[in-house]
A and B are shown apart, each in its own frame.
Chain A
Amino acid sequence: GAGVSQSPSNKVTEKGKDVELRCDPISGHTALYWYRQSLGQGLEFLIYFQGNSAPDKSGLPSDRFSAERTGGSVSTLTIQRTQQEDSAVYLCASSLEASQPQHFGDGTRLSIL
C-alpha cells in the first residue's frame, strides 16, 4: 500500500476483554515497530520485527501483551485482559530497513472503560 495502514482506528472495550490491533506496513519494508503513546507523552517502544529474525520484545510492558508478524508483512498486537492503564494510542511504523526513517500509521486509539 501507499502508507502504513492500521485498524481499527478507534476501539472502546470493557476492562478484562482481549483486543487485537492490526498493522499493514508499507510493501517491501522489512522492519516493523509497535509503539504506545499516552496522552501528552512521547512514544514508548513496544516491539520490533525485522524480516524473519526473532523479534525484540523488550518494550512489552507485561505478559498480557503479545505481537506477531505473519509472512513478514501484516502484524497484530494483542492485549489480553485489558486494564484501564492500557488506554493509549497504539502506533505502528515500518521502514525499508532498520537504519532508515520509520513511517507511521495513523494509530489505533484504545479506550478501556
Chain B
Amino acid sequence: EDKVVQSPLSLVVHEGDTVTLNCSYEVTNFRSLLWYKQEKKAPTFLFMLTSSGIEKKSGRLSSILDKKELFSILNITATQTGDSAIYLCAVALSYQLIWGAGTKLIIKP
C-alpha cells in the first residue's frame, strides 16, 4: 500500500530557530514529491521535487529529495510567527497525490 509519513506530527519552536520537517514515502510509480503550506484555508504550493540531491530554495525555505532513501526534508531558517502552519507533503503517482498527515508547526514569539 502506498503511504507517506511525516514527522514530527507537531513542533513548537521560538522565533529565529531553524526547523527541519521530514517526509518519508513508500510508493510505486513515484513521479514527484510536493510540499504545501496550509494556514487557515487552502494549501498553498511550496516546492515540487523530482530529482535527488538538488536543493530547491525560496527565501528562508528549502527542500531536498533523496530517492534512494525515500525521503525529503523541508528546512525553514530564521523562523517567524508567520511560518506557523501545517506543512503537508504529498507524493505524485501519475495523476494522484498520496498525502501525509502533515506537521503542525507553531512559532512562538
B-binding residues in A (CB < 8 A): 4, 31, 33, 41-45, 48, 50, 56, 91, 98-99, 101-107
* Chain A residues with CB under 8 A of B94: 98-99
Interface of B: prevailing SS: strand
| Contact A101-B48, Cβ < 8 Å, known A43-B99, A45-B97 | yes
| Contact A42-B95, Cβ < 8 Å, known A101-B45, A104-B43 | no
* Chain B residues with CB under 8 A of A106: 41-42
* Chain A residues with CB under 8 A of B31: 99
Q: Name the residue on B nearest A89 (C-beta).
A: B41
- Contact at B95–A50, with CB atoms within 8 Å? yes
CA distance in complex: A104, B94 (Å): 18
- The interface bits of chain B over 78-109 (1 if a CB of A lies within 8 angstroms of the residue's CB, else 0) are 00000000001010101111011110000000
